[in-house]
Amino acid sequence: MGAFSGFYKKTIPERIEILKAERGLTEEEAKTLLNSGALDLETADHMIENLIGVNHIPLGVAPGFVINKKEYVVPMCIEEPSVVAGAAKAAKLAAQSGGFSADADEPVMSGQVQLVGVPEDALIKFEENKEEIEKVAKELCLGMERYGGGFRKAEASLLDTKRGKMLNTVFLVDVRDAMGANTINTMLEGIAPLLAEKIGGKIRLRIISNLATRRKARAKCIWKKERIGEDAIEGILDGYELALHDIYRCATHNKGILNGVDAVALATGNDWRAVEAGIHAFAAMDGYKPLNKFYKNEDGDLVGEIELPLAVGTVGGSIKTNPIAKIALKILDVKSAQELSMVMAAVGLAQNFAALRALGTEGIQKGHMKLHASNLAVLAGAKGDEVDAVSKKLGEEKEYTVEAAKRILKKLRGK
C-alpha cells in the first residue's frame, strides 16, 4: 500500500492518478470521477419516478485495509466528516497487527408468502404437498443455478392472530452475488397460486425478508497494545461496556458501525435501507445489543469482533446503471458478494474502533471541527488557498460560524 501513503495530502487529480496506476481505472473512469458525473439525468430518469435532479454525496477511499491477508482500498460514500479518516487510521493500526480475519455465510436469503383465512389443517396440507411445492420453487429459481445458487428449502408456520389463522410460508434461496430481492420476489409471486390451490386461503404478501440471518459476515482484529496504548484500550473497553448497559449509548455505538457499513453500501450501489433494516432487527433479536464486542486477550491486546447480516450484491439492482458503483467495485476489487460483505464487516468494526478510540480519549470534536471549518470557509466564499487560511483562523479563534468565516475572509482579502 506504499502508493497510498500520504494519500490525504494529495490533490484530487493526483489521487485519481494513483487509482489509475494501482487499481487499473481507465481514462474514462478517471474522467467520470473528476467530473463528479455520477449519474446523467437520462439514466437517472429510468431509475425512479418524477425525476428532477441528482443528489451527490462525496466519495472517498480508505486505503490500507488488510483482510484475510489481501489489501483493499475501500470506497466510501458519505457526507459526514471524519468517517473516512477514522476508517483509514483504524485500518492502518490493524494492518500493523496483521489485519482483519473475516468470513461469511453462504448468500442465502428468505422470502415469505402469506396465506390468510387458511383452514385449521393448513400446516398438514403444506407438509403433504411440500415435495411438489419445493419442486416448483426450484424450477422458478433455475436461473440462479447457473451462478451456483438456487432454491434451498421451504418451511411454514401457522399463526393464530386476531385476524384469524394465517400460514407464514418461508422460501430459502441462495442468490449468490445478487442482493436477491427481485429474484426472490419473482419466485414468490410464481409459487403463491400453487400454495393457495393446495392449502386454501387467500394470497396476501409475497416479499423478501430483510432480516438476513442466514447471510451473516464476521470480522475480527487484534490491535496490539504497543501500537495503540493501554489507555486507549481501557477507553474503548469502557465505552463498549456503556453500550452493553445502556440502549441510548448502544444506538450510537451501532450507528458508528453503520457509518462504515452504509458508506461502503452506498459507494457500491447497494440498497442501504435493506442493510440497515436487517442489521437493526438482528441487533434487537435478544434485546437491542451492540453488533460487535471488544475484550482484552491474555497479552493485554485489544480484540474486536463483529457479526452482522449483510444482504449486499455485486450484481443486479442499480449497480450496473450507476457508473460510480461500477468504479467503486473496481477499486475495491472483490470477486463475490460474500467477499464484499466481509469487507463491510471489517470496515464496520474499524469504524467503531476509531470512534471509541477518539471518544474515550481526546473526543471527536477536534477532528470534526477541522473539517467543519473548511466547509464554513467554502460557504463564506473562500476559494483555493483561502479555504485553508480561513479554516485555520476559525480554529484559532474557536468560533465556528459562517459570519466569522466571512469576516476573516474579508480581512484576508484586505477589504
Q: Is 125 a catalytic residue?
A: no
The answer to whether residue 182 forms part of the interface with ligand NAD (CB under 6 A) is yes
Backbone phi and psi for residue 233, each to the nearest 5 degrees, phi listed first: -65, -45
With respect to ligand NAD, which residue has the nearer C-beta, 322 or 352?
Answer: 322
Which 3 state secondary structure label does DSSP give 102? Answer: strand
The answer to whether residue 271 forms part of the interface with ligand NAD (CB under 6 A) is yes
With respect to ligand NAD, which residue has the nearer C-beta, 125 or 216?
Answer: 216
With respect to ligand NAD, which residue has the nearer C-beta, 178 or 387?
Answer: 178
Report CA dihedral (273, 279, 281, 284) to the nearest 10 degrees: -140
DSSP secondary structure code for residue 270 in this structure: -
Q: Is 46 a catalytic residue?
A: no
- How many residues belong to the chain? 415
The answer to whether residue 308 forms part of the interface with ligand NAD (CB under 6 A) is no
The answer to whether residue 183 forms part of the interface with ligand NAD (CB under 6 A) is yes
Report CA dihedral (179, 346, 89, 271) to the nearest 10 degrees: 20
**Adjacent-strand bridge partners of 76:** 60
Which 3 state secondary structure label does DSSP give 190? Answer: helix
Report which residue's Cβ sits closest to ligand NAD. 316
- Single out the segment in contact with ligand NAD by CB under 6 A; choices: 113-121, 178-186, 281-289, 327-335: 178-186
Which sign does the torsion angle of CA 351, 95, 71, 20 carry? positive
| From 29, 177, 271, 339, active-site residue | 271
The answer to whether residue 180 forms part of the interface with ligand NAD (CB under 6 A) is yes
The minimum distance between CB 204 and ligand NAD, in angstroms, equals 16
Buried b (16+ CB within 10 A) or exposed e, 241-255: ebbeeeeebbeebbe
The answer to whether residue 212 forms part of the interface with ligand NAD (CB under 6 A) is no
The minimum distance between CB 281 and ligand NAD, in angstroms, equals 12
| From 31, 255, 366, 411, active-site residue | 255
The minimum distance between CB 46 and ligand NAD, in angstroms, equals 13
Strand order in the sheet with 202-208: 150-161, 164-174, 108-116, 202-208
The answer to whether residue 150 forms part of the interface with ligand NAD (CB under 6 A) is no
Q: Is 246 a catalytic residue?
A: no
Contact criterion met (CB below 8 Å) for 174 and 146: no
Which 3 state secondary structure label does DSSP give 46? Answer: coil
The minimum distance between CB 218 and ligand NAD, in angstroms, equals 22
Determine which residue in the list 24, 37, 143, 363 makes contact with ligand NAD, applying CB under 6 A: 143
| From 368, 370, 372, 392, active-site residue | 368
The answer to whether residue 208 forms part of the interface with ligand NAD (CB under 6 A) is yes
The answer to whether residue 112 forms part of the interface with ligand NAD (CB under 6 A) is no
The answer to whether residue 176 forms part of the interface with ligand NAD (CB under 6 A) is yes
The answer to whether residue 338 forms part of the interface with ligand NAD (CB under 6 A) is no
With respect to ligand NAD, which residue has the nearer C-beta, 44 or 123?
Answer: 44
The minimum distance between CB 205 and ligand NAD, in angstroms, equals 11
In the block, which residue shows the cell 437520462? Answer: 42
Q: Is 301 a catalytic residue?
A: no
Q: Rounded CA gap, 397 and 377, in Å?
A: 14
The answer to whether residue 313 forms part of the interface with ligand NAD (CB under 6 A) is yes
What's the half-sphere exposure (Cβ side, CA atoms, 13 Å) at 92?
A: 16
Q: Percentages helix, strand, coil for the chain, rounded to the nearest 5? A: 50, 20, 30
Residues in the site for ligand NAD, rule: CB under 6 A?
A: 143, 147, 175-183, 185, 208, 210, 271, 274, 313, 315-318
Instruction: Please list the active-site residues.
Output: 80, 255, 271, 368
